């Protein structure tokens, strides 16, 4: 840390409050409150002075690059790929986008290593431009910056021309462009252009480069490569088979070799052989979508200095089979209790479990459920379809009991299709259920958003349509942990199904037309918010072993209902803190106003007993009361399970008068009964 470039005490502070505040804070180590008292201003002013002092360069802060490099992950990356240098920055932080933070880190690395007389070739891209923007002049002489490829006509700010000129300006270097397009119309045109003296001279400078700055691009659909103007001329088909990424305008394979495509002979710019001969090849790139491309560049040694972020670096190493653990949490790990190696079960042959369960269910609930002739994996309601009533068909894999057949009955679903454990049912039982539920007014399919369910229900709907039964589908997406709110359609459908089935079942029972039933079911799923936490994994029926492992002091956040991991592991906490974790997420998305009404489902994922659910419910209600949210109805217990997983989920559905009235409509099924 330096203040004003000197450590000598300034003579008079009074004229410059920024310098005064910065001195007291950074050199004297005083708190902002004490500085405020001494300067006779408010604490907020001190805070503003300090920010201003940073912005105006009165104070400059440098982070020791050794610290970054010392991160074990950077070391691993360096060792594994035999890099001469590697800088890994934290993946989160600062509120600025990753490309900007990577650019700033690369700028720091470049500033440290660049020497007078260097010729630096530069590619293009958002990260490269961001680096050029962050570079500070270092007073070096005879620097040359040369474009690594020809130019593009793309309407982006990060073209090869822009990246080279920006960097040259920042370093006070001479800029050598390549006065030709990066991609030309034919190999002949390329040969002609390269013979032009101006271009030949520029290419000669490029051949003299001793450093190169390389952006690395993935070829994924969301990649900016597709708006760069580089590959406009070719369709994805031409390269999708072999290429995993792009570097310096060339397509590369998983091992970092050039992919010979239609563009290879039409590209003006550095080729990969020449690139490999440049002594210092600095790659700057990060992001999960780029893992494959960066890995390819590293494997092919196209890059020997890497600047990336920790998550990307970890993913790259994981892809190479090197497991880098997440940083260890503070505190001593608790001694692990002996693991359950074989879980005891009341099962006969595991492959008979689903059929035997269905047989038992039909016997237990014979006043509600009936088999469907010729379809052993489908059941119908004894009350059956009524003429003119929309039929409601639900379904999914087994292992969620009482889901799904527990929601078949009066005022609920008319029929259900039952798959294997955690596997969507095939189209045939879905079709059988659809035929059984048909009352001549169309059939509504409701199922959770899983690719298997979507495909099988789609096929069954096509088959039903071919028999003249109109089918509409509503796909539930209530699991808020499974995807961000912007991609709500990608979310899983989980315990919120219970509310959606109930509301749709009531709408059908009230003889509403198909379109209205669809609309109400969609509204219900849109207003349903669920999140789950698991403490112990479920057990595979075949192996009788836990399907994965949760550490003794850990829990899994954002679990679904198929015995799978959550979206993240977290430190094990008590009931109130766990409830808060879920409630915070639900409330922030639901954003209820004071006085809004919700219905709640506090659900066991299998092994968690009622006692714990009530404790969770107690905290849940405290939080809702504090928010001024009214609770219209609470369901608590086993409503939608994940075999014997220990854990819970909380679902809240934001009601309006119509949804509340449908929720209050009488129903009678194995899992839900009220008059």
Partner 1 sequence: MGEAAALHRRGFAPIVVDMQMFTRHDLTSLFRSLAARMDEEQDYLAELDGEIGDADHGVAMSVGFAAAAKALSEDEAAVPMLADGMMLAARALLNEIGATTGPLYASALMRAAQALGATTEIPLARLPEVIIAMSEGIALRGASKPGDKTMIDAWAPAAHAARAGLATDRDVAHILKDAASAAAEGAEATRAMMAVKGRAARLGPRSLGHLDPGAASAAALLDSMAQWAMVRSHPVSS
Instruction: Indicate which residues carry an active-site annotation.
Output: 400, 562
Told to check if 606 binds partner 1 by CB under 8 A, we report: no
Told to check if 451 binds partner 1 by CB under 8 A, we report: yes
What 8-state DSSP symbol labels residue 241? T
Beta carbon nearer to partner 1, 161 or 428:
428
Nearest Cα to Cα of residue 378 among 351, 411, 405, 409 = 405
Residues 117-156 that bind partner 1 (CB under 8 A): none
CB of 110 to partner 1, least distance (A): 27
Told to check if 547 binds partner 1 by CB under 8 A, we report: yes
- H or E element that contains 60: strand 59-60
- Convert residues 254-283 into a mask of x (bound to partner 1 by CB under 8 A) and - (unbound): x-----------------------------
Told to check if 465 binds partner 1 by CB under 8 A, we report: no
Told to check if 316 binds partner 1 by CB under 8 A, we report: yes
Instruction: Please list, in sequence order, all residues whose beta carbon lies within 8 angstroms of the beta carbon of residue 109, skipping any fewer than 6 positions away.
Output: 65, 85, 87, 282, 305, 307
d(CA 105, CA 94): 13
Beta carbon nearer to partner 1, 199 or 424:
424
Told to check if 483 binds partner 1 by CB under 8 A, we report: yes
d(CA 581, CA 605): 17
d(CA 271, CA 429): 58
Beta carbon nearer to partner 1, 423 or 631:
423
Phi, psi torsion values for 628, nearest 5 degrees: 75, 25
Told to check if 423 binds partner 1 by CB under 8 A, we report: yes
Beta carbon nearer to partner 1, 151 or 427:
427
Strands (E), 410-562: 415-421, 443-448, 471-476, 528-536, 554-557
Q: How many residues bind partner 1 (CB under 8 A)?
A: 54
Binder among 142, 356, 542, 584 for partner 1 (CB under 8 A): 542
Told to check if 321 binds partner 1 by CB under 8 A, we report: yes
CA distances to 291, 326, 446 from 323, rounded to whole Å, are 15, 9, 41
Beta carbon nearer to partner 1, 335 or 485:
485
Binder among 140, 234, 343, 459 for partner 1 (CB under 8 A): 459
Q: Are 310 and 316 spatial neighbours (Cβ–Cβ below 8 Å)?
A: no
Told to check if 347 binds partner 1 by CB under 8 A, we report: no
Binder among 103, 229, 403, 419 for partner 1 (CB under 8 A): 419
Stretch that binds partner 1, among 27-35, 45-53, 238-246, 614-622 (CB under 8 A): 238-246
Told to check if 493 binds partner 1 by CB under 8 A, we report: no
CB of 535 to partner 1, least distance (A): 18
d(CA 582, CA 596): 19
Stretch that binds partner 1, among 76-84, 183-191, 562-570, 608-616 (CB under 8 A): 562-570
Residue 662 three-state SS: helix
Binder among 219, 275, 394, 600 for partner 1 (CB under 8 A): 219
Stretch that binds partner 1, among 21-29, 49-57, 450-458, 514-522 (CB under 8 A): 450-458
Residue 408 three-state SS: strand
End-to-end C-alpha distance for the chain, whole angstroms: 73
Told to check if 47 binds partner 1 by CB under 8 A, we report: no
d(CA 639, CA 615): 17
CB of 416 to partner 1, least distance (A): 14
d(CA 213, CA 457): 51
CB of 549 to partner 1, least distance (A): 10
CB of 38 to partner 1, least distance (A): 48
CB of 594 to partner 1, least distance (A): 33
CA distances to 53, 307, 395 from 109, rounded to whole Å, are 24, 9, 57
Told to check if 562 binds partner 1 by CB under 8 A, we report: yes
Q: Are 398 and 419 spatial neighbours (Cβ–Cβ below 8 Å)?
A: yes
d(CA 521, CA 504): 5
Q: Are 427 and 459 spatial neighbours (Cβ–Cβ below 8 Å)?
A: yes
CA distances to 401, 426, 543, 550, 606 from 535, rounded to whole Å, are 19, 32, 20, 7, 11
Binder among 24, 182, 193, 244 for partner 1 (CB under 8 A): 244
Beta carbon nearer to partner 1, 110 or 464:
464
Residues 280-309 that bind partner 1 (CB under 8 A): 288-289, 291-292, 295
- C-alpha count within 13 angstroms, C-beta hemisphere, residue 520: 30
Q: Cα Rg for the chain, rounded, in angstroms?
A: 32
Told to check if 248 binds partner 1 by CB under 8 A, we report: no
Binder among 50, 98, 313, 424 for partner 1 (CB under 8 A): 424
d(CA 441, CA 439): 6
Taking each helix axis from N to C terminus, what angle separates 657-664 and 514-526, rounded to the nearest 10 degrees?
A: 100
DSSP code string of 487-518: GGGGSPP-TTHHHHHHHHHHHHHTT--HHHHH
Told to check if 627 binds partner 1 by CB under 8 A, we report: no
Told to check if 406 binds partner 1 by CB under 8 A, we report: no
Label each residue of 367-403 as H, E or C. Answer: CCEEEECCEEEEEEECCCCCCCCCEEEEEEEECCCCC
Nearest Cα to Cα of residue 581 among 481, 434, 492, 479 = 481
Told to check if 477 binds partner 1 by CB under 8 A, we report: no
Beta carbon nearer to partner 1, 311 or 414:
311
Tallying the residues shown for the chain, one arrives at 675
CB of 491 to partner 1, least distance (A): 8
Stretch that binds partner 1, among 79-87, 224-232, 536-544, 612-620 (CB under 8 A): 536-544
Q: Would you state the structure tokens that stand for residue 218, as one six-digit string?
A: 């993935």
Stretch that binds partner 1, among 1-9, 314-322, 524-532, 665-673 (CB under 8 A): 314-322
Beta carbon nearer to partner 1, 160 or 245:
245
Nearest Cα to Cα of residue 555 among 575, 585, 530 = 575
Nearest Cα to Cα of residue 118 among 203, 206, 209, 214 = 209
CB of 572 to partner 1, least distance (A): 19
Beta carbon nearer to partner 1, 322 or 510:
322
CB of 62 to partner 1, least distance (A): 30
Beta carbon nearer to partner 1, 92 or 515:
92
Q: Are 418 and 376 spatial neighbours (Cβ–Cβ below 8 Å)?
A: no
CB of 430 to partner 1, least distance (A): 9
Told to check if 318 binds partner 1 by CB under 8 A, we report: yes
Told to check if 323 binds partner 1 by CB under 8 A, we report: yes
CB of 568 to partner 1, least distance (A): 8
d(CA 266, CA 180): 12
Binding site for partner 1 (CB under 8 A): 218-221, 240-241, 244, 254, 288-289, 291-292, 295, 311, 315-316, 318-321, 323, 397, 419-428, 450-452, 455-456, 459, 482-483, 490, 492, 540, 542-543, 547-548, 560, 562-565, 567-568
């Amino acid at each position: 840390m330096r203040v004003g470039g000197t450590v000598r005490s300034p003579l008079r502070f009074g004229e410059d409050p920024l310098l005064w505040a910065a001195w007291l804070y950074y050199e004297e180590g005083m708190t902002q409150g004490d500085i405020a008292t001494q300067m006779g201003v408010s604490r907020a002013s001190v805070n503003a002075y300090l920010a201003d002092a940073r912005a105006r360069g009165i104070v400059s802060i440098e982070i020791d690059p050794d610290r970054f490099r010392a991160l074990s992950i950077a070391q691993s990356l360096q060792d594994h790929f035999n890099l001469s240098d590697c800088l890994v920055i934290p993946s989160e932080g600062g509120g600025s986008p990753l490309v900007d933070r990577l650019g700033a880190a690369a700028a720091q690395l470049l500033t440290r290593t660049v020497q007078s007389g260097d010729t630096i070739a530069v590619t293009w891209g958002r990260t490269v431009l961001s680096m050029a923007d962050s570079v500070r002049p270092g007073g070096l002489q005879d620097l040359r910056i040369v474009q690594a490829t020809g130019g593009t006509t793309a309407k982006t700010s990060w073209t090869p021309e822009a990246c080279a000129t920006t960097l040259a300006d920042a370093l006070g270097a001479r800029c050598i462009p390549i006065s030709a397009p990066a991609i030309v119309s034919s190999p002949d045109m390329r040969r002609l252009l390269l013979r032009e003296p101006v271009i030949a001279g520029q290419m000669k400078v490029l051949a003299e480069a001793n450093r190169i700055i390389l952006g690395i691009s993935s070829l994924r659909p969301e990649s900016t490569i597709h708006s760069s103007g580089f590959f406009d001329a070719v369709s994805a088909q031409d390269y999708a088979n072999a290429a995993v990424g792009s570097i310096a305008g060339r397509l590369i394979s998983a091992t970092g070799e050039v992919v010979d495509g239609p563009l290879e002979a039409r590209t003006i710019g550095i080729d990969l052989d020449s690139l490999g001969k440049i002594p210092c090849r600095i790659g700057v790139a990060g992001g999960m979508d780029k893992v494959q491309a960066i890995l390819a560049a590293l494997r092919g040694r196209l890059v020997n200095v890497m600047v990336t972020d920790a998550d990307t670096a970890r993913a790259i190493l994981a892809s190479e089979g090197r497991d880098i653990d997440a940083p260890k949490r503070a505190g001593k790990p608790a001694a692990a209790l002996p693991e359950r190696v074989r879980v005891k079960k009341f099962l006969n042959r595991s492959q008979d479990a689903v059929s035997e369960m269905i047989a038992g269910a039909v016997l237990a609930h014979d006043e509600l459920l009936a088999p469907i002739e010729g379809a052993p994996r489908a059941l119908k309601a004894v009350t059956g379809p009524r003429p003119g009533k929309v039929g409601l068909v639900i379904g999914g894999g087994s292992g969620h009991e009482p889901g799904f057949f527990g929601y078949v009955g009066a005022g609920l679903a008319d029929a259900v299709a039952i798959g294997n454990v955690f596997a969507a049912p095939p189209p045939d039982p879905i079709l059988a259920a659809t035929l059984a539920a048909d009352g001549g007014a169309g059939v509504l399919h409701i199922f959770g958003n899983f690719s298997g369910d979507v495909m099988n229900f789609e096929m069954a709907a096509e088959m039903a349509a071919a028999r003249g039964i109109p089918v509409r589908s509503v796909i539930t997406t209530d699991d808020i942990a499974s995807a961000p709110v912007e991609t709500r359609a990608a979310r899983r459908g989980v315990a919120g199904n219970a509310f959606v089935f109930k509301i749709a079942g009531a709408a059908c029972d009230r003889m509403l037309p198909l379109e209205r039933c669809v609309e109400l079911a969609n509204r219900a799923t849109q207003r349903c918010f669920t999140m789950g936490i698991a403490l112990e994994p479920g057990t595979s029926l075949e192996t009788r072993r836990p399907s994965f492992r949760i550490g003794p002091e850990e829990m899994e956040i954002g679990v679904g209902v198929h015995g799978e991991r959550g979206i993240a592991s977290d430190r094990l906490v008590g009931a109130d803190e766990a409830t808060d974790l879920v409630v915070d997420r639900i409330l922030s998305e639901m954003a209820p106003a004071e006085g809004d009404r919700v219905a709640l489902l506090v659900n066991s994922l299998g092994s968690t007993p009622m006692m714990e659910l009530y404790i969770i419910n107690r905290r849940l209600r405290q939080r809702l009361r504090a928010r001024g949210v009214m609770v219209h109805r609470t369901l608590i217990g086993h409503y939608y399970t994940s075999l014997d997983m220990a854990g819970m989920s909380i679902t809240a559905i934001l009601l309006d008068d119509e949804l509340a009235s449908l929720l209050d409509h009488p129903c009678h099924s194995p899992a839900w009964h009220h008059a």
